[in-house]
C-alpha cells in the first residue's frame, strides 16, 4: 500500500498549477486581510498593498528560479538545505509548516463565519475534514475542484468591482492620501496583505507533481501572482472608494459592506457565498502545500519518517495529509482568526527570507535573478515581519526557538551515535 521512497505522479500542467496558485491566494486577502490592513494603514492602504506586491514579486522570482533547479516537494525547505545548509532549510520548513497551519485554521474559520456564524468553529472543523478527504483522493481531483472555485470567486469579485465603480456612492476623494497612518501602520498593512499573496508557494512545493517543472513552475508563479495583484488592486480601490479607509477597517465582512453601501442588495448573499467558497479554495491548496513540506522533512528525518509514505494508488503522501488535517482541525476548533493571520504572516515572511537568501547564492549558469531582487526580498521580508503586531512577533519567535531547540537536540543525538 505504501512506499516511503516512491515519487509522486507528475499530473499537473501549467493551467492546473496556475489555478492552484490562484486558489491559494484569492480567498485570504480579499475576504480576511483587507479590513485589518485598512485599520492599520488608513488611507495608505494601497501603498501597503504595493509594498506587499513588491515583496511578493521578489519572493516569487527567487522561488521560481530555485524551483526550476530543485523541482521536488518541499519548496524553501529544500532550497535552504541545498544552498545555505541543513539548519536553514530545516528552519524554513518549520516556519512554513507552523505558519501555514495557522493559515489553514484562519481559512477554515472564515468558512465558518460566513456559513454559520453561531457555530463557526464546528463548521471550520467540518471543512478541514472534507478538504483533507479531497486531497487524500489525489491531486488531480484537488486541481479540478480548484478550477471551479477560482472561476466562481473571480465572477463574484468582478461583480463587486463593477457594482462599486458604477455606484453613485463611490467617491475618488476617499482614495486621496492623508497623514492618518505612519510608516509602521503601512508596513503592518503590508504584512497582513502579504498573507494573501503567499499562495504561489503552493506551486513550488508541488514541484514533484508538475509536468516539465523547469518551464511550468516559473511561468505558473508569474502568471498567478500577476493576476492576483490586478484583482487585489481593483477590489481594494473599489472598497475604499465606497466605504473609505476608516469604515473599511471597521467592517467585519468588508465586501458585504461594499455591496450594501453601493445599494446592490442582491449581491450581498452572493458575496457571502463567494467568501466561503474563496476560503475553501485557499484551505484546499494550503493543506496540499503543508502536507508536501511535511513529506520532504519526513524523508530527511526531521519529522517522523512514517509521514513520508506515498499511497501506491492515489500517489499522495496520505499519512502527512491525515496528520496535517488533524492538527489543523484542532487549531480551527480553538483559534482566533485575526491572531492566526498575524502569526501566519510572521512565519511565512521568514520562510521567504530564507528563499531569497538561497536565490542570492545562485550562479549565472543557474539562471540567477538580478542581484537586487533577493536582496530586496530578504530586507522586505524581515522588516515587514518584525513590524507585525507585537503578539504575533513574540509568538512567532517562541515557535521558531522551539524548532531550533528540537534541531539542536536531534543534532546532538546524532553526534553521540
CATH number assigned to the domain comprising residue 262 = 1.20.1740.10
Q: What is the mean pLDDT of the chain?
A: 85
Q: Does any domain span residue 117?
A: yes
- Structural domain count, the chain: 1
Q: Which three cell numbers stand for residue 122?
A: 464546528
Residue of 178, 157, 154 whose CA lies nearest to 238 = 157
Q: Does any domain span residue 80?
A: yes
Q: Does any domain span residue 1?
A: no
Helix ranges (DSSP H) in 42-182: 45-69, 76-83, 86-115, 120-136, 139-165
pLDDT winner (highest mean) among 34-38, 134-138, 233-237: 233-237
Residue of 76, 104, 71, 70 whose CA lies nearest to 91 = 76
For 146, counting Cβ atoms within 10 Å of its Cβ (0-12 exposed, 13-18 middle, 19+ buried), the class is: buried
Q: Is the pLDDT of residue 6 over 60?
A: no
Q: Which three cell numbers stand for residue 242?
A: 465606497
Q: Distances from the Cα of 15 to the Cαs of 90, 103, 194, 215, in angstroms?
A: 31, 24, 24, 13
Give the residue-averaged pLDDT of 81-94: 94
Q: Does any domain span residue 305?
A: yes
Q: Which domain holds residue 162?
A: 9-410
pTM of the model: 0.84
Q: Does any domain span residue 403?
A: yes
> With bands split at pLDDT 50, 70 and 90, how would you rate the model's confidence at 157?
very high
Q: What is the DSSP letter of 387?
A: T
Q: Does any domain span residue 365?
A: yes
Model confidence over 331-357: pLDDT tens digits? Answer: 899 888 778 888 999 999 999 999 999
Q: Does any domain span residue 416?
A: no
Q: Is the pLDDT of residue 84 over 90?
A: yes
Give the per-residue pLDDT at 393: 94
- Note the Cα 234 to chain centre separation in Å: 20
Give the residue-averaged pLDDT of 301-314: 84
Provide, rounded to the nearest whole percent, the portion of the chain with pLDDT above 70: 90
Give the residue-averaged pLDDT of 362-366: 91
Amino acid at each position: 500500500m505504501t512506499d516511503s521512497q516512491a515519487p509522486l505522479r507528475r499530473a499537473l500542467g501549467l493551467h492546473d498549477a496556475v489555478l492552484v496558485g490562484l486558489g491559494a491566494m484569492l480567498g485570504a486577502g480579499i475576504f480576511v486581510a483587507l479590513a485589518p490592513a485598512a485599520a492599520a494603514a488608513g488611507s495608505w492602504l494601497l501603498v501597503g498593498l504595493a509594498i506587499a506586491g513588491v515583496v511578493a514579486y521578489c519572493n516569487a522570482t527567487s522561488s521560481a528560479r530555485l524551483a526550476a533547479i530543485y523541482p521536488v516537494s518541499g519548496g524553501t525547505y529544500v532550497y535552504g538545505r541545498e544552498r545555505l545548509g541543513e539548519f536553514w532549510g530545516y528552519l524554513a520548513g518549520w516556519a512554513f509548516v507552523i505558519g501555514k497551519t495557522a493559515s489553514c485554521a484562519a481559512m477554515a474559520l472564515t468558512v465558518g463565519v460566513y456559513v454559520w456564524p453561531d457555530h463557526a468553529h464546528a463548521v471550520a472543523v467540518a471543512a478541514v475534514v472534507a478538504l483533507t478527504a479531497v486531497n487524500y483522493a489525489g491531486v488531480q481531483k484537488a486541481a479540478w475542484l480548484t478550477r471551479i472555485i477560482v472561476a466562481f470567486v473571480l465572477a463574484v469579485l468582478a461583480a463587486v468591482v463593477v457594482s462599486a465603480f458604477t455606484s453613485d456612492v463611490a467617491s475618488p476623494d476617499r482614495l486621496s492620501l492623508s497623514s492618518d497612518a505612519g510608516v509602521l501602520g503601512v508596513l503592518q498593512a503590508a504584512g497582513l496583505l502579504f498573507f494573501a499573496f503567499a499562495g504561489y508557494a503552493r506551486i513550488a512545493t508541488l514541484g514533484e507533481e508538475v509536468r516539465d517543472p523547469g518551464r511550468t513552475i516559473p511561468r505558473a508563479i508569474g502568471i498567478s501572482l500577476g493576476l492576483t495583484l490586478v484583482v487585489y488592486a481593483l477590489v481594494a480601490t473599489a472598497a475604499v472608494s465606497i466605504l473609505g479607509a476608516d469604515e473599511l477597517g471597521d467592517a467585519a465582512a468588508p465586501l458585504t459592506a461594499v455591496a450594501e453601501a453601493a445599494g446592490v442588495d442582491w449581491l450581498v448573499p452572493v458575496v457571502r457565498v463567494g467568501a466561503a467558497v474563496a476560503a475553501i479554495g485557499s484551505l484546499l491548496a494550503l493543506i496540499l502545500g503543508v502536507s508536501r513540506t511535511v513529506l520532504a522533512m519526513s524523508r530527511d528525518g526531521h519529522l517522523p519518517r512514517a509521514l513520508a509514505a506515498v499511497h501506491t494508488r492515489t500517489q499522495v503522501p496520505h499519512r502527512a495529509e491525515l496528520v496535517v488535517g488533524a492538527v489543523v482541525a484542532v487549531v480551527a476548533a480553538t483559534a482566533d482568526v485575526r491572531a492566526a493571520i498575524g502569526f501566519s504572516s510572521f512565519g511565512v515572511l521568514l520562510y521567504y527570507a530564507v528563499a531569497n537568501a538561497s536565490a542570492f547564492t545562485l550562479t549565472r549558469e543557474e539562471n540567477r535573478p538580478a542581484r537586487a531582487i533577493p536582496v530586496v526580498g530578504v530586507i522586505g521580508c524581515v522588516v515587514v515581519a518584525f513590524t507585525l503586531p507585537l503578539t504575533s512577533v513574540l509568538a512567532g519567535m517562541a515557535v521558531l526557538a522551539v524548532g531550533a531547540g528540537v534541531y539542536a537536540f536531534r543534532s546532538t543525538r546524532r553526534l553521540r551515535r
